Amino acid sequence: MAITETVDRILDAAEILFAEKGFSETSLRSITGKAKVNLAAVNYHFGSKNALIQAVFNRFLSPLNDLMVIGLKANRWGEKDGNIPTIEDVLGLYTRSLLKIPTRHHNGVSIFMRLLGLAYTQSQGHLRKYLEDEYAQTFWPFLSLIKQITPELSTKERFWRTQFVLGSMAFTMSSIQQLTDILENKAGSTPNPEEVVDYLVPFLAAGLNAPSVKKVNVSSD
Amino acid sequence: MAITETVDRILDAAEILFAEKGFSETSLRSITGKAKVNLAAVNYHFGSKNALIQAVFNRFLSPLNDLMVIGLKANRWGEKDGNIPTIEDVLGLYTRSLLKIPTRHHNGVSIFMRLLGLAYTQSQGHLRKYLEDEYAQTFWPFLSLIKQITPELSTKERFWRTQFVLGSMAFTMSSIQQLTDILENKAGSTPNPEEVVDYLVPFLAAGLNAPSVKKVNVSSD
DNA sequence: GTATGTTTAAAACAAACGTTTGGAATAATT
DNA sequence: AATTATTCCAAACGTTTGTTTTAAACATAC
């Protein structure tokens, strides 16, 4: 066996640097430098830089997947009839699962959320394919619940509203540090991800619960 | 004078490639190759790659700024008392201003939104500083209206809800192409940005109008 | 012990990057 | 037409990138 410490050191350094600078902007030399390991160690253990990026995600996604499964079973939703959760319940379950992911740093969750946001926008091809395979199964029960709760929405509108939710979450979390910096110039507090989530959930819930669009007509002149 | 066509060709190619791949992932050689101009032309006309990135943004932000000013004056909001717009009005004004930006391609708006999303997340330092200076003035009246409409919200909560709105918009538009690809596997239609905006506005309006958070308590066990 | 897998060190690799240069070509001005 | 200013182009510059290689040291297991 011999669980190598080098692998963890590389992953620890990589996830921080990736979150700070992005994937392309982070060199293997800066990672191995921060991790205090040899440059060749990355290619030895992971094979390539792209494989390292995926490994960083995998360390978050695996426990998240487990937490979602556990959370769904703990509550008696899903199969039972008449026991329909509210949207707040579903969003709360998901965000709380996110916050429960065990991490090495106290900023672990925001790092993961930022990485997710980066992955969505930078969209490196290989990462997108990997996430579609790996993340989709984690997301499937979430989408299923949303569908169960909003039966009056058309498939199309539900799809887009779900994307709006994901967009708000990923975007906010991915830039939470920069946004916090801006806010500190006005107020004096330093919000943590948990606090932001408390603001985020009712916002998204109201959006999901909004009445359906029939015919939009916003012509002004 | 002599308005050089080369400058426009470079900008046209650059905005497409930046939107597709990101800033760091797009090389000057691929830009000049697509634009069919010499490699040195970028540094000759713009000075540096970073300056080119800012020039790409400037071509969108200048007309957007004008459109927002015009739109605000056309409607009699803002200064007048008793003539308070709804949130839907404000969001509609903003999104319609976005859609009115004159572009060279039919996908112009989604390209711009994607660039905005990239700028937010990739956060290149120089870009952030540039956008804070240039974009802030465009945004200020928008924020002012939001404040006017939601007087019951605390400054902090209003700030975050505004960020959620921006996040949803930027994120959705920035990945609208990829999302459309996914949707086409289910439905058979090809949504355009205008249609997505029609779904987006009521969603965001409901979120902004959601009752304020007092004390969040979602403990389950 | 020998063998196997891990780590480090140092160096080199080809490829790609942004940027610079000097002269040719073109346009504008006198 | 002659002169000046601007634009363009091919080539090269110096870095940095991810990756590979070779060698030696280290650990663990059989």
Output the pLDDT for position A187: 54
CB-strand contact B2/D, under 7 Å:
yes
CA dist A177 → A182, A221, B119, B121 (Å) = 9, 41, 15, 11
Output the pLDDT for position B134: 77
pLDDT profile of chain A (221 residues), mean per 10: 75 92 92 93 93 92 86 67 77 83 75 80 72 76 84 88 85 69 57 78 94 59 40
Radius of gyration over alpha carbons of chain B, in Å? 20
The Cα–Cα gap between B69 and B64 comes to 9
CA dist A211 → A76, A161, B172, B183 (Å) = 27, 12, 20, 22
Output the pLDDT for position A220: 41
CB contact under 8 A, B168 and A168: yes
**Which nucleotide has the least CA–C1' distance to A49?**
D18
Query: Please, what's the b/e burial string for A56-93 (b: 16 or more CB within 10 A of its CB; e: otherwise)?
Result: bbebbbeebbebbeebbeeeebeeeeeeebebbbbbbb
Residue A19 CB partners (closer than 8 Å, separation 6+):
A111, A114, A115, A118
Q: Do the beta carbons of residue B90 and residue B1 sit within 8 Å?
A: no
Q: How far is the CA of B155 from the C1' of D14 (A)?
A: 51
Output the pLDDT for position B118: 80
Output the pLDDT for position B217: 46
* Amino acid letter, B168: S
Tell me the average pLDDT across B18-27: 91
**Does residue A192 belong to the interface with chain B, where contact is any CB pair within 8 Å?**
no
Output the pLDDT for position A76: 63
Output the pLDDT for position A208: 93
DSSP string, A107-134: THHHHHHHHHHHHHHH--SHHHHHHHHH
Output the pLDDT for position B218: 45
pLDDT at residue B219 greater than cutoff 60: no
Output the pLDDT for position A218: 45
The span from the first CA to the last CA of chain A, in angstroms, equals 72
**Does residue A185 belong to the interface with chain B, where contact is any CB pair within 8 Å?**
no
Output the pLDDT for position B82: 63
The Cα–Cα gap between A184 and A161 comes to 31
- Taking the mean position of all CA atoms in its chain, how far away is CA B19? 12
The Cα–Cα gap between A62 and A134 comes to 9
**Which nucleotide has the least CA–C1' distance to B7?**
D7
pLDDT at residue B220 greater than cutoff 50: no
pLDDT at residue B123 greater than cutoff 80: no
Least confident of A11-15, B115-119, B170-174: B170-174
**Does residue B209 belong to the interface with chain A, where contact is any CB pair within 8 Å?**
yes
The Cα–Cα gap between B92 and B221 comes to 42
pLDDT at residue B2 greater than cutoff 60: no
Output the pLDDT for position B41: 95
CB-strand contact A4/D, under 7 Å:
no
Give the pLDDT band (50/70/90) at residue B20: confident
CB-strand contact A34/C, under 7 Å:
no
CB-strand contact B43/D, under 7 Å:
no
CA dist B186 → A89, A158, A208, B176, B177 (Å) = 27, 13, 21, 15, 15
How many residue contacts between A and B have a Cβ separation below 8 Å?
A: 165
DSSP string, B107-129: THHHHHHHHHHHHHHH--SHHHH
Tell me the average pLDDT across B176-194: 60
Tens-place pLDDT, residues A153-165: 988 889 889 888 8
Output the pLDDT for position A79: 54
CB-strand contact A39/C, under 7 Å:
yes
> A 67-106 residues with CB below 8 A of B?
74-75, 88, 92, 96
Q: Chain A: residue nearest B217 by CA?
A: A198
The Cα–Cα gap between B148 and B86 comes to 10
The Cα–Cα gap between A74 and A89 comes to 13
Q: Do the beta carbons of residue A137 and residue A65 sit within 8 Å?
A: yes
Tens-place pLDDT, residues B125-148: 788 788 877 777 777 878 888 888
Residues in B touching A183 (Cβ below 8 Å): 156, 159
**Does residue A220 belong to the interface with chain B, where contact is any CB pair within 8 Å?**
yes
pLDDT at residue B169 greater than cutoff 60: yes
What are the tokens at A52?
Answer: 């390292």
Q: How far is the CA of A15 from the C1' of C2 (A)?
A: 40
Q: For the whole model, what pTM was predicted?
A: 0.81
DSSP annotation of B221? -
